[in-house]
Structure formats: C-alpha cells, structure tokens
Structure 1
Amino acid sequence: MLKTRKFLLALAVMMLMVFAAACSSDNANTEKETENNNTEQPAPTEEVVETKDPVEIEFWTMQLSPTFDDYINGVIADFESENPHITVKWVDVPWGDMETKILASVASKTAPDVANLNPQFASKLAELDALVNMDEMVPADIRSLYFEGVWNSNKFDGKTFGIPWYLSSQVTMYNTKMFEEAGLDPEKAPKTFDELAEVAKAIKENTGKFAFFPALDGSHFLEALVMKGVELTNADQTKAMFNTPDGIAAFQYYVDLYTNALIPREVLTEGHGKAVDMYQAGQIAILASGPQFLNIVAENAPDILEATKTSTQITGKTGKKNTAAMNLVVPKQSEHQEEAVLFSLFITNAENQVTFDKIVPILPSIETALDDPFFNELPADPTPIDKARLVSASQLRDSEVLIPPMANFEDLRRAMNEALHAAMLGQMTAEEAVKQAEEKWNSILSK
C-alpha cells in the first residue's frame, strides 16, 4: 500500500512538472509574442520574377509537312508554353533539297538553330566542325536515356554531333500466297542470307518470279557486308579492311544471284523504291524494309497487304541487325545554342516520341519509351502493320547503326558499288572487284 502511494505521488509530481513546464513555455511564448507585436515589422518584400529576353529559334525538318503538321505544331506549342521566352519557327524542307540547303546555309552563315538530318548528312557538317558537341551540351544523366549504340553512332572525330530522334528497324515482309505457290512454308520466313538464297531458288523454279529485290543503293550493301562479318575499315578509318575471305564471299553471293537470274536485272540501276513497287505489284515475294512502307502497300495494294506476314530482319553469321536513325543537330553558328538543345531534348523526350510513333510506324530513341504497351501488345483486331510494328520493336534493343559516319562517305559508297556492279556484270572476278574497291577506299581514306 505504501509503495502504491509513493508511485502515485511520484506520478503526480511528474505530471505537475510537465504541466508547469508547459505553462512556463506558454508564458514565455506569450511574452515573446507580445514583444514581437510591439516591434516594428519590416515591410514585405516583393517577389522578384526573373525575365528572359525573347528568343526565336529556327527548326528545319525533312519532308514532314503537311502530313505531320498537327503533331509538330502541337509539340512546338507545348514547348513554347513551358518556355514563354522562346518562339520556334518551323521550316520544312523537301528531302531531296535538304543536303544542298543545309550545306549552303552553313557556308552563308544562315544555318537554322536546329536541323533534322540523318547521320550521313550530318557527318558532312561534322567534317567541317560545324556542329555543337552534344556530349558537352547534354548532361550525362540525360544522354543515358537514349539507346547507347544509337547515341554513339552520331560520333565523328570523337565528338557527338546529334541527338537521336526517331528510328526505324528493318523487318522482313513476305507474301504468304507466293510462298504457298512455291511450295514453301508460309509460316517460315528466311532468317539469314543463306536461307534467302535457297528461298530465291525455290520461288524462281516454281513460280517464275523473283523472291526479292536487293537494294544495292545507299548504304544497304555496306550494311550487308557488316552483317556477314566483314570489317570495313580499321578503328581510325584510315585503311580498308574488307579484302578478306568473308569480303570476297559477300561479293560472290550477289554475283551468283545475278548470274543465275535469281534477282531482277534492275538491281544495278534502281534502288529501294523499285523494291517497294515490285512487292506491291506482286512481282517479288519478300520486301526488306521499315514497317512504315506497309502504309504504301495498304493504300496501293490491299490484297498484297492482306497476304503479308512479318518476320525479323534477315542477317548474316554475326546476327547483327541494323537500325536507321534520324537526328537533330545544332550548328555552331547558332546564336541560341542552349535554347536549341533544350528544344531538341523536348521534342525527343519519351512522351513526345511515343505520341509520334503512334502516328507513323517508327520507333523511339529513348529506351524507356519502348516499354509502352503500344510496342508490346497487339490490338484486338491487328493488321499486318500492327504486327510489323511489334516485330520491329522487339529487335530494336539488339539492333545498331551498322555504318558509322565516315568522311567522304559518298565517294566510299560509290567505289564499293561500282566494284560490285562490275563483278555482277562479269567484267571482273569477285576477288578483283574487292581488290579494286580496297585500293579506291585506301585512296579516299588517306585524304
């Protein structure tokens, strides 16, 4: 009982101390408040709003108007809303005019602040040291959002000259009806160049038609060489490295197809556009292209589209797959480089890229954007275009830009194609053609 009374007494004392402390604190606060109330208060300061001088940047694209006017103008409006001091003037240039216009504008010091170019176009400006280095302008954490291989494909002389915008990863589209007519499994498309040659024989023998039209224009043949395990140059691009057994075999592959009449004669004079025309006309069974070209087939030959299935990109023993990139560059002569880079990062962010990709069958350069269900899930009633999109997206993480920017690229490409054409026409052997190309490349690379 005594212990209980002592406990209650101690508890009462503790409660009294807490209460007293609280009262003391309240009194102190009251006194302090009174003191503060009697002290003259300083006048409130007005919030200082930083104003920025108005800036206008000029943005050039390649043949996106009028098809994508709503999208581009919408992105510009959103950017200007977030950056009220910046106005974007959009100028769309026809594809065939862009290279001439951009080079002329740089020479005359009237270049745009931002330009939409592919790596080979842009590399010509990089050769002139006319573009800002994005490794210096873009923070590392932002650079890491883009596919590493695609970002690095914009390097020239150790400097990154562009920000990747949108990508295209080629797929194999094939006419299942023609496969059936040739006695081939319509569910099994060729995966390698060797399998493609066997399909070409079967289709020619059983239908009299061609399996495919190899586009030897542009950089297509160079990409095929890399897929077949051929190294084009040494690391510093000063010496040709393709005069090897693999290089000679790659030349011989196309020589055999041509001399055995397994590919159209027009491959020596026409390019990818002819391949699209022949596919939608039912004259070839396979079209290797970006999924976006199925839109042309859908418009001009819906029956061919209905018979079309899609498979992964045909490749060589390396298993490498190519992706094509379109980039945004900022010329050094721009007086608003920071604003130009800011706009470039805005239009290429994940949200804006996914929105664009849902309008046209292209792919994003931001890796996380590929997680959007649009690239991984088919709609309830999928079209061949929907299926092609998923195939293309599924291989993007394993794809790369196979042909890096190279000085005097057009001269190199022309020298290689001329040698290949000579071999296909029987004017020289594959070995002689490779040797001729090697000598010309070494001469060009030494400039």
Structure 2
Amino acid sequence: MKRSRIVILLFLFVTMILLAACNGSSESSGAEDGGDDGGGEADEEITLEFWTMQLQPTFTDYINGMIADFEEENPNITINWLDVPAGDLEQKILADVAAGNAPDLVNLNPAFGGSLAELDATVNLDEALTDEEISRYVEGAWEASQLDGETYGIPWYLDTPVTLNNTEIYEAAGLDPEQPPETYEEAKEYAEIIKEETDQYGYFPSLDLSLPLQHMELMGVPLTNEDGTAAFNTPDGVEVFEYFTELYQEDLIPAESLTGDQREGTNFYQSGQVAFGVNFFIAEIQENAPDIYDATVPSAAITGDSGKTTTSVQNLVVPEQSGYQEAAVDFALFITSAENQLEFAQLTPILPSSTEALEDPYFTEPPEDADPMELVRITSAEQLPNAELVVPPMDNFNELQTVMYDAMSKAMLGESTSEEAIAEAEEEWNAVVAD
C-alpha cells in the first residue's frame, strides 16, 4: 500500500472509533439512545439519509416515486435523498464516516464499498438478512460485495458485457457476422483478417482501470493466492502479456486501447473504425450513429480459458454508524424488490439483481424484429445466471490495478519483455499487499 493511502485509512479508522466512543451513533440519522439492533424503530420517528451515485436528473422521478411509496408504507420514516457525482462519492463517504456523519444507506460499487469494509465500517448483511431474503438475489451479484467472507452490500442493478459487432465491416472482410468471435484467440484471428482485407481495426480491447485484471482472470490466470499475494507470474500469465503486446505492436488494435478510457472504444465503434469489442455503450451508439447502430449485432462477451463472464454491480451499503440499521436494511430490500427493479430496468439498459424480476419476459423473450438495444438486453440477461465479479473486492484495489496496468503497458510499449514486466508486477503487488 502506498504511504499516503495507509495514512488516510489509519486516520479515518482512528477518527471513526473516537467519534463512535464520544457520540454513540450517527448524527445524520438523528439517533440518540437507540442501539444498532434497531430496537423500537417501528414506534419512533425516523429520518434516513440515503445517497445514490449520479442518478439525477435522469432518474429523479423514479427515485422520488419509490421513496414516496416507501414512506406511505412506513409513515414513521422519512427519506432524505442526496445524489453524489460518481467521481466524488468514494472520498465523500470516507470523509463523512471519519466525521461521524455517515448516511444510513449508500449506493456504492464493490470497490467503493470495499473501501468502507476495509475499515470495518459496514453492517454484515449476512447477519442482517434472512436466508430467504438472500436467496432473492442472483448468486454472483450477492457474492460480488464480499470482503474477507462478509457481505457488505445488497446488490441493486447489474450489467454483463456484450460484444457488439459491425456487420458491414464483417462482410467487407469476408466474415460471417452470424459467427462472431467467442474467445480471445478468435478475436485475434478476426482482427488479423479484418486488417488484411479492409485495413481497418477489427478489435478494441480496452485496458482501462480494472480491465487488465479482468482480462487475466478471463484468460484463465488467477490473480492471487489465498493470502492475497500475486499468483499471476506464471507461463500462462506471460502469455496474456504476450497476447496484448502482439496485438498492439502488430497494429491490430488502436493505440487508444492502451492509452484511452473505456469510452474510446465506443467512439471508435460508432465512427465505423472498429468491427467489434466489449464494453461499448449501446445507448450512445444509438443516439450518435444510427447507421452503425442499425448494422450492429450483439453476441456473448468474449472470454478465455476460464469460460467465465464477468458482471458489474451497483449495491446498497448500510454503514455501521447508522443508528437505524434495521430501517435502512428494510429500505434497501424495498428498493431491490422485484417490482421496483423491473420498473428501473425498463427505464435504462440495466439488469436487476432480483431473480424474480429476471424471469419477466422483458428479459427472456425478444420481441419480433428486435432492435440492437433489445438484443443487447436479452443477451446480457442470458449471461447473468453464470456471471460473477471475476475480480472481487480486494484491499488496496486501486493500487493493485495500477500495478497491473503499468506492467502490461511496459510490455506492450516494448519497454520490458513480458517476462520482466510480469515479474516486476509480482514484486510490486506483493509489496502493496505486505505494506
């Protein structure tokens, strides 16, 4: 762990303990003498502070309507809703926990939630929910918010990646768009053919943020041993580095695959410069490039020897500081009910974490003459029962993903051999874990 990170975490942890000892409960909840077990909550007036991540203004009406329904069913509870920009949320929640002002329920992703769980600042939801309540959620989504064997988040809305294929480029290269690549090796073969036949890029495999870690796992290379130390410095791990190095150095993928963010892939695809890839934004393509959208056929996400499909998760976390944990859990269960999740999913391209909601024909039966957006939804939902968070929450996650990205970059740019780069990544990874 970098020194700055350890100082921040220690400061937050110590401050949180001191505040808890002085104040006994969160000021934001208005709790005074109530304990964390939620005793007496049904009879007292409660105000819950609820934070979401960048849902306004698009979903303001939906969230407000859901809050109104919950308050009608629970007349003693008032919900104060605050929407926070995604880029600010992690630091804000850590700072408010340190200041003793944590919300009662907060929408986080597994990495942000893991930052709180590292501080023992979250309610153990394995204990707060019954087995029947836990069984309502997709198993892989439930397991996505676990750290050191404890669940710190209730899954809310999900996604699985889908490959988008430009049929016009396929046909120009003499390829069958009904037979898109399913594996990394096939993706490379298609990229070679498309480059040779059309002088265009076939494949855009983004290497932004945690994606290098995902590629390793999907290609069958475990990242860690049981103690969190690096397990990837193996011949198979070197092969992954070699795979991306060859794609890059042979100009089979755009340079922006390495240097740009995930949005760059969408930009290349919607401008007709790349034939296929994963993690493109279909709604943006529909709006900005209708001709490309009409030529798009979705297919299952590209995977490797693992055979795995990953999922992304937004969850709901109850901070330990909440003076009304039972009410906060009840509100989280209400938000993630099958009915509310189905309504949410019909407003935007997301998947519900509720197994009951996923049984709705909206996710299982494509309409006649389905358009690409509808086919993406069906394809994504089909993958979900077997999908998992292939890179689970880890201590010091941001530092570890940077270690992998930096090492892969050195190999791809020719600054180190793949063997040297992965050995350096192993050394730096283990230093972060041990620090």
Aligned position for 1:256: 246
Q: Tell me the TM-score normalized by structure 1.
A: 0.86
Aligned position for 2:273: 283
Q: Quick check: 1:305 aligned with 2:296?
A: no
- 2:52 counterpart SS class: strand
Once residues 213 and 107 of structure 1 are traced to their aligned partners in structure 2, the CA distance between those partners, rounded to angstroms, is 41
The equivalent of 1:424 in structure 2 is 412
Counterpart among 103, 107, 112 of residue 103 in structure 2: 112
1:90 aligns with 81
Aligned to 1:126: 117
Q: Which residue of 1 aligns with 2:188?
A: 197
Is the alpha carbon distance of 1:288 and 1:51 closer, same or farther for their aligned partners in structure 2, counting shifts above 3 Å?
closer
Judging changes above 3 Å, is the alpha-carbon distance between structure 1 residues 178 and 55 closer, same or farther for their aligned structure 2 residues? same
C-alpha contact 2:407 2:422 (8 A) present in aligned 1: yes
- Amino acid across the alignment from 1:425: L
Q: Secondary structure at the match of 2:395?
A: coil
Alpha-carbon shift at residue 205 of structure 1 (Å): 1.2
* SS, match of residue 400 in structure 1: coil
Q: CA–CA distance in 1 between the matches of 2:215 and 2:404?
A: 12
Instruction: Give the secondary-structure state (helix, strand or coil) at the position aligned to 1:58.
Output: strand
**Aligned residue number for residue 382 of structure 1:** 370
AA in 2 matched with 1:144: S
Alignment of 1:244 onto 2:217: no
User: Take 1:375 and 1:442, find their aligned partners in 2: how far apart are those partners?
Assistant: 43
Q: Say if 2:326 is the partner of 1:335.
A: no
Deviation at 1:265, TM superposition (A): 1.5
User: Which secondary structure does the structure 2 equivalent of 1:92 belong to?
Assistant: strand
Match of 1:274 among 256, 264, 272: 264
RMSD between aligned residues: 1.3
Identity of aligned residues (%): 51
Does residue 147 of structure 1 match 2:147?
Answer: no
CA distance in 2, matches of 1:260, 1:104: 46
- 1:159 and 1:394 map into 2 onto residues whose CA distance is 28
Unaligned runs of 5+ in 2: 1-40
Q: How does 1:3-22 map to 2 (within 5 A)?
A: none
Greater relative CO, 1 or 2 (CA 8 Å, sep 6+): 2
| CA displacement, residues 108-156 of structure 1 (integer Å, 9 cap, x when unaligned) | 1111111111000110111111111101111111011112222122111
Q: Secondary structure at the match of 1:395?
A: helix
User: Is residue 137 from structure 1 mapped to residue 128 from structure 2 by the alignment?
Assistant: yes
* Structure 1 pair 357–105 and aligned structure 2 pair: CA distance change class (3 A): same
Distance 1:60 1:287 in 2: 33
Q: Write out aligned runs for 1:15-414 (5 A).
A: 52-237=43-228, 239-289=229-279, 293-414=281-402
Superposed CA offset, 1:395-430 (max 9, x none): 111111101110001111101111100011111111
**Structure 1 residue 268, shift from structure 2 partner:** 2.7
Report whether the alignment pairs 1:436 with 2:427. Answer: no
Give the Å deviation of 1:51.
Answer: 7.0
Kindly provide the amino acid, as one letter, of the partner of residue 304 in structure 1: I
Q: CA deviation at 1:104?
A: 1.3
**SS state at 2:311 partner:** strand
Quote the Cα distance in structure 2 between the aligned partners of 1:363 and 1:433. Answer: 37
Distance in 2 between residues matched to 1:428 and 1:380, nearest whole Å? 52
Provide the aligned length of Structure 1 versus Structure 2: 395
> SS at 1:103's partner residue?
helix
Contact 2:209 2:405 in 1 (8 A): no
Q: Deviations over 1:51-105 (max 9, x none)?
A: 7211110111111111011211111111111111111111111111111211111
Distance in 1 (alpha carbons) for counterparts of 2:396 and 2:177: 43
Instruction: Give, in whole Å, the separation in 1 of the partners of 2:121 and 2:222.
Output: 29
Q: Indicate the SS of the match to 1:197.
A: helix
Map of 1:16 onto structure 2? none
1:22 is matched with: none
**In 2, distance between residues paired with 1:149 and 1:383?**
28
Could you tell me whether the CA contact under 8 Å between 2:140 and 2:385 is conserved in 1?
Answer: no
Give the Cα separation in 1 of the matches to 2:313 and 2:42: 37
Structure 1 gaps of 5+ residues are 1-49
**Other-structure match for 2:38:** none
Q: Are the aligned partners of 2:144 and 2:393 in contact in 1 as well (CA < 8 Å)?
A: yes
Which letter maps to 1:288?
Answer: V
Rounded to whole Å, the distance in 2 between the matches of 1:382 and 1:316 is: 29
Distance 1:445 1:312 in 2: 35
Task: Judge conservation of contact 2:188–2:203 (CA < 8 Å) in 1.
Answer: no
Q: Where does structure 1 differ by over 3 angstroms across 4 or more consecutive aligned residues?
A: none
Paired residue secondary structure (1:321): coil
TM-score under structure 2 normalisation? 0.89
In structure 2, distance between residues paired with 1:61 and 1:430 = 41
- Cα distance in 1, alignment partners of residues 208 and 116 from structure 2: 22
Where 2:310 maps in the other structure, the secondary structure is strand
Question: Structure 1 counterpart of 2:149, which letter?
Answer: G
Paired amino acid for 2:197 = N
